[in-house]
Structure 1
Amino acid sequence: MTYEELHAEMVAAMKAKDKVRLGVARLVLGELKNAASRGGAHEITEEEVTAQIKRTLKQTSETLEMSEKAGNNAERTENLREQVAVLESLLPQQVSGDELVALVEKTIAELGATSKKDMGRVMGALTAATNGNFDKPAAAKEVGLRLS
């Protein structure tokens, strides 16, 4: 998702009066603007947007987990669940299933990986090829099965 697409998402949420989606979009956009101003004026890349969404998702998921454990404010917990769902919908589709298996096989062949010692290189290449948008536990399992 690009910065412009995220901004358009915020505008659409305003028009639809979707407070949760609007709040999430504003939060992510604000964090991106803060990061851009700290790092000097530059164009915000799609990778930066995705990374910020992932960071926000991680923080919100952790807060949700703590809220569920505390179990004292059901309304806040439900709001956090909605925020997590919105953040997940903003992320690119993760590579999984048959597509992931094919990508693992292709990457192993390209790198000439043969042993478990090459697992880090293969996982790194998968991360680079997909911008980190893949099911990591499933990929690790597939790589482990194919390397002796």
Structure 2
Amino acid sequence: MEYQQLQDEIKAAMKARDNHRRDILRQVHTELKAIEVNERREVTEADVDAMLKRVIKQTKETLDGSIKAGNNQERTDTLTEQVAILEGYLPKQVEGEELIALIDAVLADTGAATKKDMGRVMGELTKRTGGNFDKAAAAKELGSKLS
């Protein structure tokens, strides 16, 4: 997602009076604005994606804590909705058959054969997908293919 698109989404959420969407997108925007000010540079699409992932992670941690603490259901529902909203803005994850085909291609290209090569293969997968793949499924699949 581009930075301008994020700003447009905030405006659309404000017009639609969608407070949950507006609030969580403003949180992402605030973090990105800090990058702009502190590092004195333009925010890139990669920055937006990384920040979305970071805010998702933080929100999921808060959600887990809320569930464990038995806090009120309204807060838990709000956090769950915010995670779903943010995940909708992330690029599509590579998974399933597409992931297996990509793993096979990387194994063929790198010539990896042992579990010692697993880090190199995972690095190549990250490079080819921009980090948008199911890492647990990839590790499991690699573990079964490497000796």
What is the alpha-carbon distance in structure 2 between the residues aligned to residue 36 and residue 113 of structure 1?
Answer: 40
* 2:75 aligned with 1:93: no
Structure 1 residue runs of 5 or longer lacking an equivalent are none
What is the alpha-carbon distance in structure 2 between the residues aligned to residue 36 and residue 112 of structure 1?
Answer: 41
Query: 1:67-113 CA distances to partner (integer Å, 9 max, x unpaired)?
Result: 11111322111111111111111111100001100110111111111
What is the alpha-carbon distance in structure 1 between the residues aligned to residue 21 and residue 86 of structure 2?
Answer: 8
Structure 2 residue runs of 5 or longer lacking an equivalent are none
Could you state the TM-score of these two structures normalised by the residue count of structure 1? 0.95
What is the alpha-carbon distance in structure 2 between the residues aligned to residue 89 and residue 101 of structure 1?
Answer: 23
User: Any residues of structure 2 matched to 1:40-119 within 5 Å, and which?
Assistant: 40=40, 42-119=41-118
* 2:26 aligned with 1:6: no
* 2:127 aligned with 1:132: no
Q: Aligned partner of 1:107: which letter?
A: V
Could you state the TM-score of these two structures normalised by the residue count of structure 2? 0.95
Q: Aligned partner of 1:130: which letter?
A: T
What is the alpha-carbon distance in structure 1 between the residues aligned to residue 30 and residue 140 of structure 2?
Answer: 37
Confirm or deny: 8 A CA contact 2:94 2:133 kept in the other structure.
yes
Query: 1:107-131 CA distances to partner (integer Å, 9 max, x unpaired)?
Result: 1111111111110000011011111
User: Any residues of structure 2 matched to 1:23-42 within 5 Å, and which?
Assistant: 23-40=23-40, 42=41
Q: CA RMSD in A?
A: 1.0
Indicate the residue corresponding to 1:15 in structure 2. 15
Give structure 1 regions of 4+ aligned residues with deviation exceeding 6 angstroms: none
Query: 1:5-52 CA distances to partner (integer Å, 9 max, x unpaired)?
Result: 211211111121111111111110110010221112x22111111110
- Say how many residue pairs are matched: 147
Q: Aligned partner of 1:106: which letter?
A: A
